[in-house]
Chain A
Amino acid sequence: MNTTRTAATARYLVLTGMAVAVLLPFVSIVLAALHPSGSQISGLSLPESWTWSNFADAWRAANFSNLVMSSLIIAAGVVPLALVLATLAAYSLATLNPLGGRAISIGFVLGLTLPIELVVIPLYFDLRQLGLTNSYLGVILAETALFMPFGVYWMQTHFASIPGELLEAARVDGARSFTILARVLMPISWPAVTTLGLLYFMWSWNQFLLVIVLMQDPDMRTAPSGLGFFVGQYSTNIPLLSAASLIVIGPIVVLYLIFQRNFVSGITQGAIKG
């Protein structure tokens, strides 16, 4: 009895050790962000005076009002567009047996392993010709395309898991295919759609390479891409940089804490079913 108790304690000690290792970097930048701007600091140390103004200063210096607005505009375009397109395509692939459906599915799945590096160069030159660089629409369409393989695949697995009798019953009643999607399938699909929407938001918020290439205008960049250049300007001002990083991390962490179940299941299950 006693040995199991000891074993359990040892397990929790290991777990706690790992958790500390994950969290310590955050503690370090939170403390750094509270030191006076530009001051010399060392490792983990409590600031002599808690300087909350770093957040306001970083917000102004990095022009986060514009950056966050761009991030939100892009996400507000990508999330609904990608969700609708992926849902429609997946519905057809999973239940309507379209002509060449298998080949189309494979075509989408292939995109899962393509690195962004492979598409980013022509995207810049082609979109520039179309006037879609320095344009929210250009980034929105490019991100929607890049996130499409996962979305189609995620919704397709979801629709395939719905019992066929449900669809048969609706078909016998003479419902048209779109009515079945809207009236029968969507009401029971919100959990899958919500998870996918959250992942889309996260990927859109975190996207870096694509944005710095397609948005040459610094004012139209997103929060992380603006941060990427902010580092160059203030590379030695650690309190200010830390505050800026926390501003960029903040929204996604809050969302993650609220919807942690969706995030964890989305990333792990999405991976496993593949």
Chain B
Amino acid sequence: MADRRRLIALAYIAPAALVYIGFAIWPAIHTVYLSFLDWDGILPATWAGLDNYRAIFTDSMLGPSLWHAIVLILFFAVIPCALGLFMTALLQGTTRGMTTFRVIFFLPQVLPLVAVGITWRWLYNDEGLVNQGLRAVGLGGVTRAWLGDYNLALIALGFIGTWAMSGLCMVLFLAGAQKIDTSLYEAVAIDGGGPVRRFFVVTLPALRGEIAIASVITTIAALASFDLVFVTTNGGPANQTTVPGLLVYRLAFNESNIGGAAALAVVLTLVVIVFVTAIRRLTREKP
């Protein structure tokens, strides 16, 4: 009787599970299968074994794209989290007017990245706000079309991520810091600890969970980025800003190399899983 009820309970899950399996899980498995094929999308496919995976490590395009995505983690995840923590240390306890600030800081989170990208194309333009600002402070010598600069385009792209992600980290950390028991701070004060000690002994450990979450979200955004790169640099100049997402799209839908695209997608997913697992390990509560 109880088992029958537990079977019937599955009926509630069935519609969601069917859509999820049919349009997410099955395609994911199918991608793994395609990654072992040599297929142009039209003619019959042939078995390619590990060739597509080998190509990722030998091809002059594919390997660097993974490296670029990992560099972006610095700008999408590391800097925003560090900035968020610094601001939390600085602002902790400020409550008046925070709602307005929170609304502003969070704004980049809800915007379509395509529009964010177009906005920053303009800001980084020869005549854009960034160069205008540099000229205004007497740094006219370093102005350039940032997204077209061979050495700096990836960094310029990264700072768009910093702009978009810092607010999320800050809002998460400030909310977490509000839950910290103030008596802990008093205890540190009694021991003669200053604000720096207070931050490292109380705040940082207390925000472990929030730091884990913020790092996971922002790291995935860096590794799996597509929209932003597609509209800002489209991988240029000279492939200096290619990312895996961009090449998956290009290989599969412009160059008819379905197997290669699938293999890159699988490797990208594995990289995401490795990073997410590492972050979870590092931030786990020590027993």
Q: A residues near B, CB below 8 A?
A: 8, 11-12, 14-15, 18-19, 21-26, 28-29, 32, 40-44, 85-86, 88-89, 91-93, 96-101, 104, 107-108, 111, 113-126, 141-142, 144-146, 148-149, 152, 177, 202, 205-206, 208-209, 212-213, 223-225, 227-228, 231, 238, 241-242, 244-246, 248-249, 252-253, 256-257, 260, 263-264, 267-268, 271-272, 274
Contact = CB atoms under 8 A, between A and B. Distances in A.
Contacts of B253: 124, 213
Which 5 pairs show the lowest CB-CB distances between chains A and B? A43-B132, A145-B23, A98-B9, A92-B12, A115-B224
9 contacts: A15-B97, A86-B16, A99-B3, A100-B10, A113-B276, A123-B27, A177-B9, A241-B122, A264-B102
Contacts of B128: 28, 42-43
A119 B9 contact: no
Given A28-B129, A118-B268, A125-B41, A23 B104 contact: yes
Given A115-B272, A206-B110, 16 more contacts: A15-B97, A18-B87, A41-B127, A42-B127, A43-B128, A96-B12, A101-B9, A107-B25, A117-B249, A118-B28, A126-B30, A206-B111, A224-B115, A242-B119, A260-B103, A272-B176
B114 A88 contact: no
Contacts of B245: 115, 117, 209
Interface in B145-182: 163, 166-168, 170-172, 175-176
A115 B220 contact: yes
Nearest to B115: A245
B114 to A, nearest CB: 5
A42 B133 CA distance: 11
Contact of B119 (A28, A264, A271): A28
Contacts of B262: 121-122
A44 B129 contact: yes
Contacts of B127: 40-43
Contacts of A231: 118, 121, 231
A176 B109 CA distance: 41
B258 A121 contact: yes
Judged by DSSP, the binding face of B is helix
Nearest to B170: A18
Interface stretch (B47-55, B185-193, B196-204, B209-217): B209-217
B16 A227 contact: no
Interface residues of B, number: 98
Interface in B76-106: 87, 90-91, 94, 97, 101-106
B248 interface: yes
B242 interface: no
Interface of B: 3, 5-13, 15-17, 19-20, 22-28, 30-31, 34, 41, 87, 90-91, 94, 97, 101-115, 118-123, 125, 127-129, 131-133, 163, 166-168, 170-172, 175-176, 209-210, 213-214, 216-217, 220, 223-224, 226-227, 230-231, 244-245, 248-249, 252-253, 258, 261-262, 264-266, 268-269, 272-273, 276
A120 B248 contact: yes
B110 A22 contact: no
Contacts of B264: 117
Given A43-B128, A115-B220, A117-B244, A19 B9 contact: no
A245 B109 CA distance: 16
Contacts of A228: 114, 227, 230-231
Contacts of A253: 107, 110-111
B105 to A, nearest CB: 6
B91 A15 contact: yes
A89 B104 CA distance: 35
Given A43-B129, A115-B223, A122 B27 contact: yes
B255 to A, nearest CB: 13
Nearest to B24: A145
